[in-house]
Structure 1
Amino acid sequence: MHVDLSRHLTPKDCHILRRTEGGSHHVVIIRVGSARPSNEFVIKIPVTGTEERWCDEHAYTMRCEALLMNYLRKYTSIPVPEVIAFQDRIDNPLGAPYILMRKAFGKSAYCLWLDAEGEDGQNADNPSEQMIRKRITFLKSLALYMAELQKLTFEKLGMLNFDNNVDKPVVAHYWETRGGIQIRQEPVASAREFFLSGLNARLPANTTPRNLSECQNNNGGIQDTRKGINKLQGVRRIMEIIYDSSCFDGKAPVSSEGNSFILRHPDLDLQNILVDDDNTITSILDWHGTITAPRCIGYVALPRFLTHDWFPHFTLSDPPYMSWTVDYYRRVYADSMKEHCDDGKYTYKSAMYQAAAAAPSCQWCSDACSDVVNKVLLQLPALRLTDLNEFQERLGRGWKAAEEYLKVEIGILFESE
Structure 2
Amino acid sequence: MLSDVLVFWKSASSASTNRLADSPANKRKSKMHPLNRAKAFIKYSPSSQEIISPETNVQADGRRHKRDINTFRRFFKIRGVSKIDLTDSDEQKTSQEAHEQQLDQDEEDEDQYSDDGEPNDEDEDDRRDFKAIRAITRKEVKEFVLETLHADSEQDSRTCHVTKRKEGSFHHVVFVHTKIGDQLEQQYVLKIPAHGTIEHWEEGDGFMLRNEAVLMQHIRHHTHCPVPEVVAFDDDTHNALGVPFILMKEMPGKLALDLWAGKPFRDVQSNERYDLANDSSPELEQKRFHFLASLAQAMGHLQTLKFKKIGMHIFDKPEDEVPKKFGPVWRWHTTSCMQQLHPVGPFSSEGFYFHYGTHQAWHPSMIEDLEPDSYGALVYKGVQAILSQILYSTPFATPAPPPATVDDEGQPMVHKNFVLRHDDLNLQNIRVDDEGNVTGIIDWGGCHAVPRCVGFASLPLFLRGDWLDDQTQCAMMWSLNRYRSIFADAMKEACQTDDGSLSDAQYTNKSAMYQALLAVFFDGETCLQFVAKVLNEIVDFRRVNAEQLCAQLGKGWPAAEKVLAEKIAELMAPEVQEWRSFHKQY
> Does TM, scored on the shorter chain, surpass 0.5?
yes
Amino acid at match of 1:107: K
Aligned pair partner of 1:325 in 476, 479, 494: 479
Change (3 A) 1:98 1:116: closer
Is the aligned partner of 1:273 residue 2:430?
A: yes
- Structure 2 distance, partners of 1:290, 1:191, is 17
Change (3 A) 1:263 1:123: same
SS at match of 1:180: strand
Please say if residues 207 and 233 of structure 1, whose CA atoms lie closer than 8 Å, have aligned partners that are also in contact: no
Aligned pair partner of 2:459 in 302, 305, 308: 302
* Cα-to-partner distance string for 1:187-244 (whole Å, 9 max, x where unaligned): 11221321221221331246525489xxxxxxxxxxx981112112211221121111
Is the aligned partner of 1:338 residue 2:492?
A: yes
Amino acid at match of 2:289: I
Q: Which residue of 2 aligns with 1:182?
A: 341
- Structure 2 distance, partners of 1:198, 1:177, is 15
Amino acid at match of 2:244: P
Is the aligned partner of 1:61 residue 2:186?
A: no
How much does 1:157 deviate? 0.6
* Cα-to-partner distance string for 1:26-69 (whole Å, 9 max, x where unaligned): 11111222355542111111111111011110100000000000
- Structure 2 distance, partners of 1:49, 1:271, is 22
Please say if residues 239 and 356 of structure 1, whose CA atoms lie closer than 8 Å, have aligned partners that are also in contact: no
- Structure 1 distance, partners of 2:374, 2:384, is 15
Residue correspondence of structure 1 range 192-271 to structure 2 within 5 A: 192-205=351-364, 207-210=366-369, 226-249=374-397, 259-271=416-428
- Structure 2 distance, partners of 1:373, 1:37, is 54
How much does 1:125 deviate? 2.2
Range moving further from structure 2, 266-275 or 183-192: 183-192
- Structure 2 distance, partners of 1:239, 1:37, is 56
- Structure 1 distance, partners of 2:247, 2:365, is 48
- Structure 2 distance, partners of 1:270, 1:211, is 44
Is the aligned partner of 1:122 residue 2:268?
A: no
Is the aligned partner of 1:361 residue 2:522?
A: yes
How much does 1:288 deviate? 0.3
Residue correspondence of structure 1 range 111-150 to structure 2 within 5 A: 111-117=258-264, 118=268, 119-150=272-303
Q: What is the TM-score normalised by the length of structure 2?
A: 0.64
Range moving further from structure 2, 38-47 or 137-146: 38-47
* Cα-to-partner distance string for 1:323-377 (whole Å, 9 max, x where unaligned): 20110010111111112221111100000010012202233x6xx1111100000
Report percent identity of matched pairs. 36
- Structure 2 distance, partners of 1:43, 1:397, is 56
* Cα-to-partner distance string for 1:245-289 (whole Å, 9 max, x where unaligned): 1112368xxxxx953310011111100000112322111000001
Please say if residues 235 and 392 of structure 1, whose CA atoms lie closer than 8 Å, have aligned partners that are also in contact: yes
Q: Which residue of 1 aligns with 2:306?
A: 153
Q: Which residue of 2 aligns with 1:8?
A: 151
Range moving further from structure 2, 182-191 or 347-356: 182-191
**Count of residues in Structure 1 that have an aligned counterpart in Structure 2:** 395
Q: Which residue of 2 aligns with 1:352?
A: 513
Amino acid at match of 1:187: P
Amino acid at match of 1:109: A
Range moving further from structure 2, 104-113 or 130-139: 104-113
Range moving further from structure 2, 145-154 or 124-133: 124-133
Please say if residues 259 and 434 of structure 2, whose CA atoms lie closer than 8 Å, have aligned partners that are also in contact: no
Q: Which residue of 2 aligns with 1:380?
A: 538
Q: What is the TM-score normalised by the length of structure 1?
A: 0.89
Aligned pair partner of 1:110 in 240, 254, 257: 257
Q: Unmatched 5+ residue regions in structure 2?
A: 1-6, 9-39, 42-146, 400-413, 496-502, 576-586
Change (3 A) 1:123 1:93: closer
Range moving further from structure 2, 82-91 or 3-12: 3-12
SS at match of 2:477: coil
Please say if residues 467 and 530 of structure 2, whose CA atoms lie closer than 8 Å, have aligned partners that are also in contact: yes
Please say if residues 367 and 380 of structure 2, whose CA atoms lie closer than 8 Å, have aligned partners that are also in contact: no
How much does 1:149 deviate? 0.8
Range moving further from structure 2, 35-44 or 19-28: 35-44
- Structure 1 distance, partners of 2:475, 2:184, is 34
- Structure 2 distance, partners of 1:53, 1:166, is 32
SS at match of 1:230: helix
Please say if residues 430 and 441 of structure 2, whose CA atoms lie closer than 8 Å, have aligned partners that are also in contact: yes
Amino acid at match of 1:357: L
- Compare CA radii of gyration and give the structure with the larger one: 2
Please say if residues 302 and 351 of structure 1, whose CA atoms lie closer than 8 Å, have aligned partners that are also in contact: yes
Amino acid at match of 1:347: T
How much does 1:155 deviate? 1.4
- Structure 2 distance, partners of 1:290, 1:362, is 14
Amino acid at match of 2:510: K
Please say if residues 192 and 244 of structure 1, whose CA atoms lie closer than 8 Å, have aligned partners that are also in contact: no
Change (3 A) 1:148 1:211: farther
- Structure 2 distance, partners of 1:353, 1:36, is 49
How much does 1:321 deviate? 4.0
- Structure 1 distance, partners of 2:175, 2:470, is 34
Please say if residues 173 and 187 of structure 1, whose CA atoms lie closer than 8 Å, have aligned partners that are also in contact: yes
Range moving further from structure 2, 346-355 or 163-172: 163-172
Please say if residues 178 and 184 of structure 2, whose CA atoms lie closer than 8 Å, have aligned partners that are also in contact: no
Please say if residues 531 and 546 of structure 2, whose CA atoms lie closer than 8 Å, have aligned partners that are also in contact: no
Q: Which residue of 1 aligns with 2:246?
A: 99
Please say if residues 250 and 260 of structure 1, whose CA atoms lie closer than 8 Å, have aligned partners that are also in contact: no
Please say if residues 177 and 183 of structure 1, whose CA atoms lie closer than 8 Å, have aligned partners that are also in contact: yes
- Structure 2 distance, partners of 1:234, 1:82, is 49
SS at match of 1:113: helix
Amino acid at match of 2:296: A
Is the aligned partner of 1:21 residue 2:147?
A: no
Please say if residues 213 and 246 of structure 2, whose CA atoms lie closer than 8 Å, have aligned partners that are also in contact: yes
Please say if residues 114 and 121 of structure 1, whose CA atoms lie closer than 8 Å, have aligned partners that are also in contact: no
